[in-house]
Amino acid sequence: MEDTNTTLLPADAATESPVVGIDQSAGNFSYDVKYEFDAGSGLSERVVEYISSVKKEAPWIREFRLNALKTFLSRPLPTHWATRDLESIDFSKIRYYLSSGQKPKRSWDEVPADIKRTFERLGIPEQERKFLAGVEAQFDSEAAYSNVKEAVSKQGVIFLNSSEALKEHPEIFRRWFGKVIPTGDNKFSALNSAVFSGGSFIYVPPGIKVAHPLQAYFRINAENFGQFERTLIIVDEGSEVTYMEGCTAPKFSTSTLHSAVVELVAMKGAKIQYITVQNWASNVFNLVTKRGLAHEAAEIKWIDCNIGSRLTMKYPGVVLKGRKSRGEVISIALANDGQHQDTGAKMVHAADETTSNIIAKSISVGQGRSTYRGLVHIPKHLKGCKNNTECDALLINTNSRTDTYPAITVRGAANRSQHEASVSKVSEEQIFYMRQRGLTEGQAMSLSVNGFINDLARQFPMEYSVELKRLIDLEMEGSVG
Amino acid sequence: MPSTLEISSLHVSIGEKEIVKGLSLTIKSGEIHAVMGPNGTGKSTLSKAIAGHPDYTVTGGDILLDGKSILQMEPDERARAGLFLAFQYPSEIPGVSIANFLRAAVQSHMGEGEELDATAYYKRLYQKMDLLKIDRKFTSRSVNEGFSGGEKKRCEILQMAMLEPKIAMMDETDSGLDIDALRIVSAGVNELRGPNLGVLLITHYQRLLNYIVPDYVHVMWDGRIVKSGDKSLALELEAKGYDWVKKELVTA
């Protein structure tokens, strides 16, 4: 639907004022001159209405977005507890909606050599490199994964992007949409609620164990790798699913702000495992709200690895609403020079005999900064609840920094909580010992760091843990000498 | 191919303090040299300095491996040139299995472009583990993590067996070992003994030398070698004690 009031950017203006956040030293880009859907930069009611009309959304979704916008605008940045670096985000310069035709592209020759080397080192499949490097706006995954898609749809699993899902199956998704993470949860969930686009909406019917992990790759298009993905996974009684997103390769990004929302709902006896591996460019603000709601005897497990970004703020959480439900967060964060990983977990116990487990390991390299924030809440009227928290930090050079802010509230004589924290430096004696066996300093450091995260890395699916190890090796090489 | 480690008038300091004060010693392939002495006399310092430990500074003299000075070489370069140190206090490497660690170590000693053959590697690894009576399950254990003293020392000899050095320095390998562990470790070293290996055996007690019989015995005192002889010197030292050496020096 054409909006005659749309401002069409003339071709030369597009190249004069490129999208904010592009690293000019990383190459040049060309714009596709066909501008049908251009919301411009900055955020306003007009932009939100525009997004909704382009997607041809039902009125209730448009209302939802507009209310969310009001909430977003009325909220201050949470700098009373979070880093003041958030103030560097210029909301007026960000483009909140880009359709595939508008994504800036570059030729393969223009892709920096070190990016190409990284793909090589990480063993990224050829077909995926061009997409990740921003040479192609789309990655046709149909051929690669069509067998899995067929098997999965035969089981009655619904797997669509957010817009399609809300349009075709509102009876399933509307019930939970915005319920696990209400719009007003925080400023950035409100932002996402106003401008969300792309992401995965999945419904698994009762009694189905989805054999193959589902991946965002199945539905790759420019939008799904956008800034404001919205994911909602509902797993019905007794069913199980694993979902994986992200990859170890650095993704070409034109935006400095990524603010996703992920909601999980595990019905009675259901199991959801959500795995994320992200390697962000160092100019990106990656601010994500992720939460799961576990009903009776259900299990939700977040396995999360974050490397890079200028600032990542992410606290995957589980609300243990049903008796005997279980929540788990396994988190690995690596912060290099100029990077700040502010991550942790939230476990809210709301029923008897619920258990939660948090294991967070962070690595700070050079001037990198890692922060752990863990919230555990067990109120006094509950019985038989248990929490275990372990957070370990590893500092690689003396300039690295790590902070821990545990917020544990456990009441009631019949509940138990255990918290262990450690901070260590890579031991010089250990490095010397390894070097005496012939390993270079870089190899020794890599081994040491990989050893530190080994028991967590093993919980990732095989293909990820191999890539993860290679990624750590790469990051460590840069830190030595 | 025979090798020679020549330590020539070596002076080593840790910070401001001089520990090794002009030590000379030559070790050739096929020879086992025992260095004995009381605590604090610089025995460990000597082996660490030869290995290239960053805390120690060589302030005078030289160390030559096959005629070439190694003083400018990094610890890993010295290792790849054929130098091995069995540590007195081996480090733990949590999360890194013995199999993976040794594989990386063996690979690092191989030439450019040479690839390690996994089957051959494991075959050899198990053979050495069996010899040292290390349970094969240990391949998946993290290096030295939770190991007893005896297990750590046997693991050191396992690494030595896998890396096949030209010159091996063993720093108080017998400390903390009971008789059985001592026997096993010694059997392992004796198995490696031959015309291609030179050994510097640092020990406090004579007992080890009953099992690993040295060709030469040197007594170290206050940062220098003050007396050299054959294996009977060790027996004399045990009978008379270190005070005897001290007295001899004073009267000399």
B156 vs B170: CA distance, rounded Å: 9
Dihedral, CA of residue B93, residue B98, residue B100 and residue B105, to nearest 10: 80
Q: How confident is the model at residue A103 (pLDDT cuts 50, 70, 90)?
A: low
Residues of A with CB under 8 A from a CB of B: 427-430, 432-441, 443, 447-448, 450-455
**3-class secondary structure, B84:** strand
Tokens at B173, concatenated: 């390998």
In this prediction, residues A213-223 reach a mean pLDDT of 57
Check A448 against B159: CB less than 8 A apart: no
Rounded to 5 degrees, what are φ and ψ at B180? -65, -45
Say what the pLDDT of residue A148 is. 66
A313, A306 in Cβ contact below 8 A?
Answer: no
Q: Where are the domains of chain A?
A: 11-112, 128-427, 428-481
Q: Please enumerate, as own/partner, the contacts of A22-30 that have beta carbons within 8 Å and a separation of 24 or more.
A: A22/A104, A22/A254, A23/A281, A23/A283, A26/A112, A27/A106, A27/A110, A27/A111, A27/A112, A28/A106, A28/A110, A29/A104, A29/A105, A29/A106, A29/A134, A29/A254, A30/A104, A30/A105, A30/A106
- Whether residue B140 lies within 8 A of chain A, CB to CB, comes out as no
Say what the pLDDT of residue A348 is. 97
Q: How confident is the model at residue B130 (pLDDT cuts 50, 70, 90)?
A: very high
In this prediction, residues A237-244 reach a mean pLDDT of 95
Q: Looking at beta carbons, which residues of chain A come within 8 Å of B164?
A: none
Residue B229 lies in a domain: yes
Q: Looking at beta carbons, which residues of chain B come within 8 Å of A430?
A: 91-93
pLDDT at B1 over 80: no
pLDDT: which is higher, A93 or B72: B72
A266, A302 in Cβ contact below 8 A?
Answer: no
Check B96 against A438: CB less than 8 A apart: no
Helical segments of A179-250, H only: 187-195
Q: How confident is the model at residue A4 (pLDDT cuts 50, 70, 90)?
A: very low
B5 vs B104: CA distance, rounded Å: 26
Tokens at B159, concatenated: 């690494």
- The β-bridge relationship of strands B56-65 and B68-69 is antiparallel
Task: Tell me how far the alpha carbon of residue B224 is from its chain's centroid.
Answer: 18
Check B93 against A443: CB less than 8 A apart: no
For residue A204, what are the β-bridge partners? Answer: A235
The total of structural domains in chain B comes to: 1
Q: Per mean pLDDT, which range of A205-219, A278-292, A372-386 is the poorest?
A: A205-219
Say what the pLDDT of residue A470 is. 81
Check A438 against B142: CB less than 8 A apart: no
Residue B95 lies in a domain: no
Quote the DSSP letter at residue B170: E
CB atoms within 10 A of CB B98: 24
Nearest CA to A357 out of A263, A456, A440 is that of A456
**Average confidence score pLDDT of chain B:** 93
Nearest neighbour of A435 by CB, restricted to B76, B93, B142: B76
A215, A128 in Cβ contact below 8 A?
Answer: no
**3-class secondary structure, A39:** coil
A343-391 pLDDT tens trace? 999 999 999 999 999 999 999 988 889 999 999 999 999 999 999 999 9
CA angle at A462 for the pair A457 and A463, rounded to the nearest 5°: 105
Nearest neighbour of A447 by CB, restricted to B51, B104, B109: B104
**3-class secondary structure, B35:** strand
pLDDT at A263 over 60: yes
Check B108 against A439: CB less than 8 A apart: yes
| B220 Cβ contact list (under 8 Å, min separation 6) | B23, B35, B36, B37, B41, B42, B43, B46, B226
In this prediction, residues B152-169 reach a mean pLDDT of 96
**Average confidence score pLDDT of chain A:** 82
Check A439 against B76: CB less than 8 A apart: yes
Say what the pLDDT of residue A38 is. 65
Shortest distance between the Cα of A200 and any Cα of chain B, in A, equals 35
pLDDT at A69 over 70: yes
A292, A267 in Cβ contact below 8 A?
Answer: no
Sign, Cα dihedral of A64, A66, A67, A71: positive
Q: Looking at beta carbons, which residues of chain B come within 8 Å of A440?
A: 74, 76, 108
Nearest neighbour of A455 by CB, restricted to B52, B84, B95: B95
| B16 Cβ contact list (under 8 Å, min separation 6) | none
Shortest distance between the Cα of A16 and any Cα of chain B, in A, equals 49
Q: Per mean pLDDT, which range of A98-102, A298-302, A433-437 is the poorest?
A: A98-102
Q: Looking at beta carbons, which residues of chain B come within 8 Å of A454?
A: 94-96
CB atoms within 10 A of CB A139: 19
Nearest CA to A322 out of A351, A348, A291, A293 is that of A351
Tokens at B75, concatenated: 């610890």
Nearest neighbour of A451 by CB, restricted to B52, B96, B109: B96
Q: Looking at beta carbons, which residues of chain B come within 8 Å of A450?
A: 95-96
Nearest CA to A303 out of A343, A251, A351, A260 is that of A343
Say what the pLDDT of residue A226 is. 59
Q: How confident is the model at residue A317 (pLDDT cuts 50, 70, 90)?
A: very high
What value does the CA radius of gyration of chain A take, rounded to a whole number of Å? 22
Range of the domain at B184: 4-89+165-251
Quote the DSSP letter at residue A85: G
Q: Which of B91, B101, B166, B170 to mutate to test the interface with A (most CBs of A within 10 A)?
A: B91
pLDDT at B136 over 50: yes
Residue B189 lies in a domain: yes
Residue B31 lies in a domain: yes
Maximum Cα interatomic distance, chain B, rounded to a whole number of Å:
61
Q: Looking at beta carbons, which residues of chain B come within 8 Å of A472?
A: none
Check B105 against A429: CB less than 8 A apart: no
Shortest distance between the Cα of B251 and any Cα of chain A, in A, equals 41
Q: How confident is the model at residue A300 (pLDDT cuts 50, 70, 90)?
A: very high
Q: How confident is the model at residue B99 (pLDDT cuts 50, 70, 90)?
A: very high
CA angle at B216 for the pair B212 and B219, rounded to the nearest 5°: 100
pLDDT at A191 over 50: yes
Check A432 against B84: CB less than 8 A apart: no
pLDDT at A436 over 80: yes
Residue B46 lies in a domain: yes
Check B101 against A453: CB less than 8 A apart: no
CB atoms within 10 A of CB B232: 9
pLDDT: which is higher, A38 or A400: A400
Residue B82 lies in a domain: yes
Q: How confident is the model at residue A22 (pLDDT cuts 50, 70, 90)?
A: very low
pLDDT at A33 over 60: no
Say what the pLDDT of residue A441 is. 92
Check B108 against A433: CB less than 8 A apart: no
Residue B56 lies in a domain: yes
pLDDT at A225 over 60: no
In this prediction, residues A155-174 reach a mean pLDDT of 91
B4-38 pLDDT tens trace? 999 999 999 999 999 999 999 999 999 999 999 98
Say what the pLDDT of residue A254 is. 59
Residue B133 lies in a domain: no
Q: What is the pTM of this model?
A: 0.81
pLDDT at A17 over 60: no
B163-176 pLDDT tens trace? 999 999 999 999 88
Q: Looking at beta carbons, which residues of chain A come within 8 Å of B95?
A: 450-455
B69-87 pLDDT tens trace? 999 999 999 999 999 999 9
CB atoms within 10 A of CB B7: 20
Say what the pLDDT of residue A7 is. 35
Q: Per mean pLDDT, which range of A432-436, A462-466, B34-38 is the poorest?
A: A462-466
CA angle at A207 for the pair A205 and A210, rounded to the nearest 5°: 75
Q: What is the CATH number of the domain that holds B11?
A: 3.40.50.300
**3-class secondary structure, A21:** coil
| A1 Cβ contact list (under 8 Å, min separation 6) | A53, A54, A56
